[in-house]
Structure 1
Amino acid sequence: MEHHARFEDALRLDPASHMPLYLQLEARLRHMIESSQLRRGDAIPAERELASMTGVSRVTVRKAMAKLVHEGLVVQKTGAGTFVSGRFSQPLSELSGFSQDMRARGFTPGSHWLDRQHAMAGPDEAMALGVAPGTRIVRLKRIRTANGEPMAVETAIVTARDLPDPYLVQDSFYAVLRARGLVAVRALQRLRAGLATQQEALWLHLKQPAAILQIERRAFLADGRVLEVTYSSYRADMYDFVVELRSSDPTP
């Protein structure tokens, strides 16, 4: 009863609203997931129960659930029910840092630092940053978390000219750069599928063999100079990257 009461309170719909009922229901369930009222693995009430709680038809419930399934927030298991998947979807068309992205979803971003150091750029790092080999750089390596759960292993490199002290970064890397007047206006990202190494699996709480998304990002300033390069390994069981495609043919 207490379990049902929690859903009934959170899923109250407004029949007078201009928003369709299925979108209201979808939005309220999404809020429960993104605010951690529902966590990964939690069960969603059956279609009939949701219809009874909210006073809408099962067709309306089905449409709301279909949207959540399509976006990867819930998963339907035949014979078992519907469960929160805990997956995250990030549009590839938006340039934002991990902390900004997590806060926009209502999650608390965090980091477990693995390394923060000055170094001399090796040949590959120098090429990625567009500087001479041996240029003084800063490397920042950490495990990125959302509500305490590990999501990615991230290594960022930036010149010491742009970030003289690696310990300036406590939370958001981009926020520190912005405070120094350095704002990325565009970025190039390369995504590859891969398998987690033994160490990555340990950091990300994965059982091997485990799939990961390997991402390389180069962010640029308005004058075209490379600001930073970040190499990340994201949990493939938790993260989706979404891109909107538009036709080049103007004919309807």
Structure 2
Amino acid sequence: MTITEFLNPQDWLGQGTGPRYVQLRRRLEEAIEQGILAPNASLPPERELAELTGLSRVTVRKAIQELVAKGAIVQRQGSGSFVRDASPRVEQSLSALTSFSEDMQRRGLETRSTWLERGVFMPSPEEMVALGLGADESVARIARIREAGGKPMAIERAALPTDILSNPLLVTTSLYEVLEAEGLRPVRAIQKISAINLDEDDAALLDVEPGVAGLSIQRTSYLASGRVAEFTRSTYRGDAYDFVAELRLSNAKDKR
């Protein structure tokens, strides 16, 4: 059954069953539950919904706004209204220093990488500052799209001194596995997380619409000696990740 047939008002719109916008909201919810409107499918425009149902555009708009508030529908500026992808969100703890591969394996999700860049390069000014490199030194750089469960989740762009990662081609799955084999796995890190709207290039790589919400994370990782080992800039889909931090009450003496 098509959404046009499913929204025929003779089949559901009646008296004594609540306000008309509530009836339309429920009908659209039924369409989502039954798969008539699949995840990521676009809703007909407000004008078309009004014509199909015989309702006013104000009524249609109010029904859609309720679905947006309930999280069933997402609205994308300039593109329209879409059924939210029902894929589960991933929670990642901020209290443990782990790799993407390790995080996904613990959740039973198969990971895959699409390589964007992998090799030894001259460092950028930002990389020189972050890694403490001189202008005449080289940097190992890897950049890839990280996928889990067949879905692009993040774009990772990592840079490391070449005496820590001499051959970036050794990294096929987990960077930290390669570093651990050499006894050079980082033991702590500082992360900066910022909310962003994805630009056209990153949105295309993550298979979402430009301008949707995302997370930008900069991570500087350190060896046990205190030396900087890794500088990574990652871009995550905002609809796929939740970052969780555990907070504890400080000692009484710290509150004075």
Q: TM-score range, shorter-chain basis?
A: 0.5 to 0.7
Deviations 1:171-219 (A, max 9, x none): 0000011111112110000000111111111010101221110000011
2-structure distance, mates of 1:156, 1:88 = 22
Question: Which residue is equivalent to 1:31?
Answer: none
Question: Which residue is equivalent to 2:204?
Answer: 202
Aligned residues: 177
Q: Is structure 2 residue 156 aligned with structure 1 residue 154?
A: yes
Q: CA shift at 1:124, angstroms? A: 1.2
Q: CA shift at 1:84, angstroms? A: 4.4
1-structure distance, mates of 2:132, 2:88 = 38
Unaligned runs of 5+ in 1: 1-39, 42-74
AA of the residue aligned to 2:137: T
AA of the residue aligned to 2:207: H
TM-score (norm 1): 0.66
Question: Which residue is equivalent to 1:109?
Answer: 111
AA of the residue aligned to 1:188: I
Question: Which residue is equivalent to 2:97?
Answer: 95
2-structure distance, mates of 1:77, 1:198 = 25
Question: Which residue is equivalent to 1:187?
Answer: 189
2-structure distance, mates of 1:134, 1:103 = 39
Question: Which residue is equivalent to 2:11?
Answer: none
| 8 Å CA contact retained: 1:122, 1:134 | no
Query: Per the alignment, in what secondary structure is the counterpart of residue 178 of structure 1?
Result: helix
Question: Which residue is equivalent to 1:230?
Answer: 232
| 8 Å CA contact retained: 2:204, 2:210 | no
2-structure distance, mates of 1:242, 1:135 = 37
TM-score (norm 2): 0.65
Question: Which residue is equivalent to 1:243?
Answer: 245
Q: CA shift at 1:130, angstroms? A: 1.8
Query: Per the alignment, in what secondary structure is the counterpart of residue 211 of structure 2?
Result: coil
Question: Which residue is equivalent to 1:221?
Answer: 223
Question: Which residue is equivalent to 1:173?
Answer: 175
Taking the TM superposition and a 5 Å limit, the aligned residue runs for 1:17-56 are: none
**Structure 1 residues 134 and 210, CA gap change in structure 2 (3 angstroms):** farther
AA of the residue aligned to 2:188: R
CA RMSD of aligned residues (A): 2.4
Query: Per the alignment, in what secondary structure is the counterpart of residue 156 of structure 1?
Result: strand
AA of the residue aligned to 2:161: T
